Amino acid sequence: MSAKDVLVIAPHPDDETLGAGGTIARSAAAGLKVTVLTVAAHMPPLYSEAVHQKTLAESRKAQALLGAAEPRFLDLPALSLGEVPVAEFNGAIQAVVKEIEPSVVLCPYPDRHIDHRLIFDAVMVATRPVGPGAGIKLLAAYETLSETHWNAPHIEPNFVPSWVVDISATIDLKLQALACYESQVPPFPGPRSLEAARALALFRGTQAGFAYGEGFHIIRMTSAVEELVTGV
Amino acid sequence: MSAKDVLVIAPHPDDETLGAGGTIARSAAAGLKVTVLTVAAHMPPLYSEAVHQKTLAESRKAQALLGAAEPRFLDLPALSLGEVPVAEFNGAIQAVVKEIEPSVVLCPYPDRHIDHRLIFDAVMVATRPVGPGAGIKLLAAYETLSETHWNAPHIEPNFVPSWVVDISATIDLKLQALACYESQVPPFPGPRSLEAARALALFRGTQAGFAYGEGFHIIRMTSAVEELVTGV
Amino acid sequence: MSAKDVLVIAPHPDDETLGAGGTIARSAAAGLKVTVLTVAAHMPPLYSEAVHQKTLAESRKAQALLGAAEPRFLDLPALSLGEVPVAEFNGAIQAVVKEIEPSVVLCPYPDRHIDHRLIFDAVMVATRPVGPGAGIKLLAAYETLSETHWNAPHIEPNFVPSWVVDISATIDLKLQALACYESQVPPFPGPRSLEAARALALFRGTQAGFAYGEGFHIIRMTSAVEELVTGV
Amino acid sequence: MSAKDVLVIAPHPDDETLGAGGTIARSAAAGLKVTVLTVAAHMPPLYSEAVHQKTLAESRKAQALLGAAEPRFLDLPALSLGEVPVAEFNGAIQAVVKEIEPSVVLCPYPDRHIDHRLIFDAVMVATRPVGPGAGIKLLAAYETLSETHWNAPHIEPNFVPSWVVDISATIDLKLQALACYESQVPPFPGPRSLEAARALALFRGTQAGFAYGEGFHIIRMTSAVEELVTGV
Amino acid sequence: MSAKDVLVIAPHPDDETLGAGGTIARSAAAGLKVTVLTVAAHMPPLYSEAVHQKTLAESRKAQALLGAAEPRFLDLPALSLGEVPVAEFNGAIQAVVKEIEPSVVLCPYPDRHIDHRLIFDAVMVATRPVGPGAGIKLLAAYETLSETHWNAPHIEPNFVPSWVVDISATIDLKLQALACYESQVPPFPGPRSLEAARALALFRGTQAGFAYGEGFHIIRMTSAVEELVTGV
Amino acid sequence: MSAKDVLVIAPHPDDETLGAGGTIARSAAAGLKVTVLTVAAHMPPLYSEAVHQKTLAESRKAQALLGAAEPRFLDLPALSLGEVPVAEFNGAIQAVVKEIEPSVVLCPYPDRHIDHRLIFDAVMVATRPVGPGAGIKLLAAYETLSETHWNAPHIEPNFVPSWVVDISATIDLKLQALACYESQVPPFPGPRSLEAARALALFRGTQAGFAYGEGFHIIRMTSAVEELVTGV
């Protein structure tokens, strides 16, 4: 356990890579411990157990490539999270926050996929700046190709990044990790294709002053200026 | 003059190509008359006359590639539009709307560049659904690489597309036209580089169901459903 | 089955007429096939079976007046949609989209009535630009008198039309269809009275350049310009 | 001068009637003193002196019908307000606030017309809750037919009422006052026609629980509950 | 029963004091009847019966200090409101509105706490301007320290007051009432500490022209101007 | 010149202290070089030269207390910034950015005071992530007591902090610095009184997990995670 831990919360296997793969790889390469908590799973009865095991294996492989720490899976059934009592659901996520005591938490933006919304809500409760959440210096939401961009314009919240991390050095690793998800990544011009992921990174990066980037919506930051610029 | 004319309003040379180049090329290829009205110019005293002539020449070359009709230039000085009296400025744009009687008007999104904002305001007045503006079936705003994405998140308006045109067949033409602007297009990873323009088109396209697209924010549409689906 | 089909999704009987009756009538008169899918019903145990049958009969009569195709009813219990598992609920709507393959989908704006919100969410999933949703050229949300205007200002989304259809030729038909809903339409000054419906249409129309109109919030359009202006 | 004075600020002659005519008439009938301050005028050089005098006369006639107090005109040239130094412009409006010491101020919503925006800004400065503004109990913005509804959806602010005044008893007087503006009111289906004004009032009213209403966006209210319910 | 009744809806014991304690005290002192309806309770199985009884006792004591009328408790289990059928939940709140016939309703802003959101939704249905809700002159949402300020910026709605009540004369009473909630109020610098409550009141007040204030977001007001200024 | 420089841009003397005084003091105490650029001055003809000199002296004294570096004053006339040509105005601010090469830039939120808006616009241009702006790791806007909270709710942008700096150790220094501005700070309950400044800091701090804080709206951050947590 370290004050510099990073916790990435993924609704389903692949979301952590789509949304923050380059940042995970860069952070890990810099010596930080990055733990990915995957909340939901493609499991029975909606999915076969074979699919379940395949996506878990893909996730382990992708996370290893990125340099993340031992993967954590809550293994709750995808598309049925609303059936878990709220207090229990919030508690399951809060327990991980309490155990890891992360400095940085990255979570999904609330978007088209109902699991992303329910997990966003639970993360927001689990990371409140009291109790286990008091030590979190930065809470930010990442975008998930397709789901995030399918929110209805100006009816539902629309993603606009306030934070862009330079992932020029890890874009290739991100795409290799994404390629591990054979069951989830469609060929071009699929909305989650490797080409789409590269294009989004190039677009975010060039608009922020570098080549490839990952964009985040900052929800709460409490770092002091001297903490922010120490590593510059 | 035809009921099917398209009018694209560009603040400066290159904005029409960055924002709507693929759509211009596709529309022209389909037989529509597309006129580009460029409002401001890089002219003395802020710019040399040589720069002025060079950008005009680049614009003529790019527009010819895209298949646009005879270019129109208002030749007002960039960064000094606020010094033109409002009634006169609105009138200059309204005169073109009155003459062309377009069915579709594409204008810049109000963004980081003050000229884009002032022109947006003037277009909004010139296209009101009365008098010369009554025949306009569709008014939409395009995004301009860098300027549009440099609006402050959640303080200034942030671009979210409600309309995406499939430009898979004309993306190459768009990039060729953009390459004509030697004075304006920086090398990668510049925010207006050819690579950034291609990435944005690929991102917009894949999120809308195809390969390459151009995104627009629809401001006002008055087409009937039977008009909309006739060409499908 | 035709590439030019229109699908109107109504939470309850009368919503399709309140929100899009004039557009349905105009589209049908122009030769388009317009199918109305009514999702929820005023059925036992919250309502008597007599009320259920009466509202179904009113809906059939109103839809016939407007010229819509054979009505579709999912017959799910009003105010209990949240109890249907999400995957099942989304699937029920998606099945209709898959069967009809519409070019245009009109759905309710998410507003005061919880059924409208849940159906909006399900439609948004069912019409994503992949699989059966890839052929949809236009997805838009209509306003429902009273429910839409009872969203809390600036806390919940507030309806602002980006698309207004000229229904001057069909406003009378719309009001006749609305009058079929004897069980739902209160006398003036009721919020869903015939007078209120006429006033809203006149207000929307005159602000858009004609006499009577229906306003929509465009969520996603992928038509090309030459498709849009062909019918002008 | 009375603690119960109402000040209505109109950009041009007719805006006070379009936006708040029914409320002015109701307030005056209840014994309140309502003063209308008209800021801009249709005057030379953009308009002829004949037009100027005609609109002033129309305004006097309309205000008399509504029962307003002696009209106030700043007589600044329409469409040229931006040329008045900011401190001077703010000061001119602040001087009237200081003199009248109103309890309630009604001002235009910032919309399509640039004069409305500049006047909105100046009113916001003049009514700050310090000095002469400290006694203002309620500051609210009214909607102006056409201009307010021509703001770009979701780019510019869009009017949504948080306050609706029941003008069922004064709707006829409002329309008679509006009819005084022969130079400004077009025939149906003009966006400022009498029919459009009646329809908007009926729409606002029926959605708020009565027959005819005028909608306002409350900017700042400081009344106590016991003050609010005394008159109920 | 009186036309001047005020109904304050509190999700849990202490919310009425945090959000509107000063306004309750001022209104009661002015002779109005103010009823607090507390919807949820800290009860078994999530909380012990001892906690339940303690919070009820604290609430009775605090409300008595503020001068509120006989307390009303719905006693629904906190964090499980979503399990009550929607029609039943809305009905429970609507029954109280029907019985009390309030002129003014104050409800929680929809924020971080899911109970606040569900109660907000139910209040919005129960207070619609039809039937029992037609007599409500003012519906406004109060802010709850911590929960309201933990909504995600620009993703979820963010509280901005349009109405501030001067509670300079009752701030001490508010803080005394808050101190009754021994089980809920943490020491400074806790987010719901007495110091935080005083600071928020001082901040809201000084920005509105006086010393201490309580801020509200007005959702719907239908008072006439002469009603508003009678008590001034 | 250092890669860790902080640049605070103040519209007028006192804004830097009101908005970021505690953060300036904390950063300076931690060894960072913090430069305050004051753009406008209370100078003739709107103000006397005596006032001008007094406010400059107050600013020097306050900045010295906070530990800021040598003060920079552009000495442009308050309330007349709009009369400076845009290119020249942007250039004046950009020149300072170019010279200082800051890692962090803090600027005013665009609010009620027109100078704040114009300076915000110019800063946004001067700090674009190209040229001299490419090295900026963090750009954020601070709130200014009264002016920021007098923006019209939901018409103009409303401040909601995404970043709160713990200034518990420097709140006293901030208030001492504020007290230096004898000409600007009114007694309680003035909107810029010392009591109001302390209350805002206590409110922001307690909602973020500590005692006193300063809130900022993050516009653009490009730090990597390992840079962010190095100093934690």
ipTM rounded to 2 decimals:
0.96
For residues B148-164, average pLDDT? 98
Does the pLDDT of residue A179 top 90, yes or no? yes
Most B CBs within 10 A among E154, E155, E158, hence the mutation to make, goes to E154
The chain-wide mean pLDDT, for chain E, equals 95
Does the pLDDT of residue C232 top 50, yes or no? no
Indicate yes or no: CB of C228 within 8 angstroms of CB of B231. Answer: yes
The rounded distance, in Å, linking the Cα atoms of A43 and A49 is: 6
Contact (Cβ atoms closer than 8 angstroms) between residue E110 and residue E157: yes
Kindly indicate the confidence band of residue C69, based on its pLDDT and cuts at 50, 70 and 90: very high
CA atoms within 13 A on the CB side of F214: 30
pLDDT value, residue F3: 59
Q: Helix, strand, or coil here: A117? A: helix
Indicate yes or no: CB of D32 within 8 angstroms of CB of E227. Answer: no
Closest residue of chain C to B133, computed from CA coordinates: C209
Q: Between F191, F198, F210, which is nearest E207 by CB?
A: F191
- Tens of pLDDT along A181-232? 998 899 999 999 999 999 999 999 999 999 999 999 999 999 999 988 765 4
pLDDT value, residue B232: 44
Indicate yes or no: CB of D225 within 8 angstroms of CB of E26. Answer: yes
Which chains have at least 3 CB atom pairs separated by less than 8 Å from chain F? A, B, C, D, E
For residues A78-101, average pLDDT? 95
Does the pLDDT of residue B37 top 90, yes or no? yes
The secondary element (H helix, E strand) that includes residue C38 is: strand C34-41
Does the pLDDT of residue F231 top 60, yes or no? no
Does the pLDDT of residue E169 top 90, yes or no? yes
Contact (Cβ atoms closer than 8 angstroms) between residue D94 and residue D125: yes
Closest listed residue to residue E214, CA positions, set E9, E18, E6, E7: E18
Kindly indicate the confidence band of residue D132, based on its pLDDT and cuts at 50, 70 and 90: confident
The chain-wide mean pLDDT, for chain F, equals 95
The rounded distance, in Å, linking the Cα atoms of B146 and F129 is: 9
The rounded distance, in Å, linking the Cα atoms of B177 and B190 is: 17
Residues of F with CB under 8 A from a CB of C: 153-154
Indicate yes or no: CB of A229 within 8 angstroms of CB of F162. Answer: no
Does the pLDDT of residue E221 top 90, yes or no? yes
Question: B138-142, B224-228, C56-60, F110-114 — which is least confidently predicted?
Answer: B224-228
Strands of chain D, DSSP E: 6-10, 34-41, 72-77, 104-108, 138-142, 163-166, 213-221
* Number of alpha helices (DSSP H) and beta strands (DSSP E) in chain B: 7, 7
Strand F72-77 with F34-41, pairing: parallel
Does the pLDDT of residue E2 top 70, yes or no? no
Does the pLDDT of residue F81 top 50, yes or no? yes
Name the DSSP class of F83: G
Rounded alpha-carbon distances, angstroms, from residue B170 to A196, B28, F59: 18, 11, 58
Burial class (CB in 10 A: 0-12, 13-18, 19+), B39: buried
Closest residue of chain F to D89, computed from CA coordinates: F79
Q: Which residues pair with residue D72 across a beta bridge?
A: D37
pLDDT value, residue B69: 98
- Tens of pLDDT along E93-124? 999 999 999 999 999 999 999 999 999 999 99
D138 phi and psi angles, rounded to 5 deg: -150, 125
Q: Which residues of F46-80 are buried (b: 16+ CB within 10 A; e: fewer)?
A: ebeeeebebbbebbbbbbebbbbbebbbbebbbbb
The secondary element (H helix, E strand) that includes residue A221 is: strand A213-221
pLDDT value, residue D232: 44
Collect all residues of chain F within an 8 Å Cβ-Cβ radius of residue E191.
Answer: 206-207, 209
- Full DSSP string of A55-115: HHHHHHHHHHHHT--S-EEEEEETT-GGGS-HHHHHHHHHHHHHHH--SEEEEE---SSHH
Which chains have at least 3 CB atom pairs separated by less than 8 Å from chain A? B, C, D, E, F
Residues of A with CB under 8 A from a CB of C: 46, 79-80, 82-83, 112, 114, 146, 150, 152-156, 190-191
Indicate yes or no: CB of C153 within 8 angstroms of CB of F153. Answer: no
Closest residue of chain E to A120, computed from CA coordinates: E152
Contact (Cβ atoms closer than 8 angstroms) between residue E36 and residue E8: yes
Closest residue of chain A to B152, computed from CA coordinates: A162
For residues C140-167, average pLDDT? 98
Collect all residues of chain B within an 8 Å Cβ-Cβ radius of residue D112.
Answer: 124-125, 128
Torsion over CA: F41, F44, F48, F53 (sign): positive
Indicate yes or no: CB of F153 within 8 angstroms of CB of C154. Answer: yes
pLDDT value, residue A232: 44
Confidence (pTM) = 0.97
pLDDT value, residue E82: 93
Residues of B with CB under 8 A from a CB of C: 3-4, 6, 23, 26-27, 30-32, 103-104, 129-130, 133-134, 137-138, 162-166, 207-210, 213, 218-232
pLDDT value, residue A1: 35
Does the pLDDT of residue B7 top 80, yes or no? yes
Which chains have at least 3 CB atom pairs separated by less than 8 Å from chain C? A, B, D, E, F
Contacts of F144 (CB under 8 A, 6+ apart): F15, F18, F19, F108, F109, F111, F113, F116
Which residue carries 């099917």 as its tokens? B4
Contacts of C175 (CB under 8 A, 6+ apart): C194, C197, C198
For a pLDDT cut of 70, what percent of chain E falls above it?
97
First to last CA, chain E: 25
Contact (Cβ atoms closer than 8 angstroms) between residue E71 and residue E36: yes
Does the pLDDT of residue A103 top 90, yes or no? yes
Structure tokens at E221: 């007001």
The radius of gyration computed from the CA coordinates of chain B, to the nearest angstrom, equals 17
* Number of alpha helices (DSSP H) and beta strands (DSSP E) in chain A: 7, 7
Burial class (CB in 10 A: 0-12, 13-18, 19+), E58: buried
Q: Torsion-angle region of residue A59: left (phi > 0), alpha (psi -120 to 50) or beta?
A: alpha
Kindly indicate the confidence band of residue F232, based on its pLDDT and cuts at 50, 70 and 90: very low
The chain-wide mean pLDDT, for chain A, equals 95
Longest CA–CA span in chain F (Å) reads: 51
Indicate yes or no: CB of A199 within 8 angstroms of CB of B210. Answer: no
Collect all residues of chain F within an 8 Å Cβ-Cβ radius of residue E205.
Answer: 189
Kindly indicate the confidence band of residue F1, based on its pLDDT and cuts at 50, 70 and 90: very low
- Tens of pLDDT along D138-192? 999 999 999 999 999 999 999 999 999 999 999 999 999 999 999 889 999 999 9
Which chains have at least 3 CB atom pairs separated by less than 8 Å from chain D? A, B, C, E, F
- Tens of pLDDT along D77-86? 999 999 999 9
Name the DSSP class of C128: S
The rounded distance, in Å, linking the Cα atoms of C14 and C30 is: 22
Collect all residues of chain A within an 8 Å Cβ-Cβ radius of residue F31.
Answer: 226
Collect all residues of chain E within an 8 Å Cβ-Cβ radius of residue F221.
Answer: none
The rounded distance, in Å, linking the Cα atoms of A119 and B90 is: 49
For residues D66-71, average pLDDT? 98
Indicate yes or no: CB of C114 within 8 angstroms of CB of E121. Answer: yes
The chain-wide mean pLDDT, for chain B, equals 95
- Tens of pLDDT along F150-184? 999 999 999 999 999 999 999 999 999 999 999 88
Closest residue of chain C to D157, computed from CA coordinates: C160
Contact (Cβ atoms closer than 8 angstroms) between residue B79 and residue B115: yes
Closest listed residue to residue B167, CA positions, set B158, B157, B159, B177: B177
Q: Which amino acid is located at D71 in the chain?
A: P
Longest CA–CA span in chain D (Å) reads: 51
For a pLDDT cut of 90, what percent of chain F falls above it?
94
Collect all residues of chain F within an 8 Å Cβ-Cβ radius of residue B83.
Answer: 85
Q: How many CB pairs under 8 A join A and E?
A: 35
Q: Which amino acid is located at E203 in the chain?
A: F
Q: Which residues of A90-117 are buried (b: 16+ CB within 10 A; e: fewer)?
A: bebbbebbeebbbbbbbbbbbbbbbbbb
Size (chain A), residues: 232
Collect all residues of chain E within an 8 Å Cβ-Cβ radius of residue F161.
Answer: 153
Collect all residues of chain E within an 8 Å Cβ-Cβ radius of residue C153.
Answer: 219
Closest residue of chain E to B158, computed from CA coordinates: E154
Contacts of D217 (CB under 8 A, 6+ apart): C153, D109, D140, D141, D143, D159, D160, D161, D162, D163, F154, F155
pLDDT value, residue D184: 87
Kindly indicate the confidence band of residue D3, based on its pLDDT and cuts at 50, 70 and 90: low
- Full DSSP string of B140-176: EEE--TTTGGGSPTTTS-----SEEEE-TTTHHHHHH
Collect all residues of chain F within an 8 Å Cβ-Cβ radius of residue B191.
Answer: 129-130
pLDDT value, residue F229: 78
The rounded distance, in Å, linking the Cα atoms of A149 and B160 is: 9
Contacts of E101 (CB under 8 A, 6+ apart): E1, E3, E5, E132, E135
What is the CB neighbour count within 10 angstroms for residue E231? Answer: 16
Structure tokens at F81: 């910034």
- Tens of pLDDT along A124-172? 999 999 988 999 999 999 999 999 999 999 999 999 999 999 999 999 9
Kindly indicate the confidence band of residue E228, based on its pLDDT and cuts at 50, 70 and 90: confident
For residues E148-172, average pLDDT? 98
Closest listed residue to residue E178, CA positions, set E199, E204, E198, E200: E198
For a pLDDT cut of 90, what percent of chain C falls above it?
94
Does the pLDDT of residue B3 top 70, yes or no? no
D25 phi and psi angles, rounded to 5 deg: -65, -45
Rounded alpha-carbon distances, angstroms, from residue A12 to A176, B43, C73, D95, D100: 18, 54, 34, 62, 63
For residues B118-146, average pLDDT? 96
pLDDT value, residue B1: 35
pLDDT value, residue F107: 98
Most B CBs within 10 A among D43, D144, D146, D154, hence the mutation to make, goes to D154
Q: Which residues pair with residue F138 across a beta bridge?
A: F104, F221
Does the pLDDT of residue E173 top 60, yes or no? yes
The rounded distance, in Å, linking the Cα atoms of F117 and A178 is: 43
Collect all residues of chain C within an 8 Å Cβ-Cβ radius of residue E124.
Answer: 112, 150, 152
Closest residue of chain D to F154, computed from CA coordinates: D157
Q: Which residues of E164-173 are buried (b: 16+ CB within 10 A; e: fewer)?
A: bbbbbebbeb
- Tens of pLDDT along B59-105? 999 999 999 999 999 999 999 999 999 999 999 999 999 999 999 99
The rounded distance, in Å, linking the Cα atoms of D59 and D73 is: 10
For residues E31-56, average pLDDT? 96
Closest listed residue to residue E120, CA positions, set E106, E100, E135, E104: E106
CA atoms within 13 A on the CB side of C215: 29
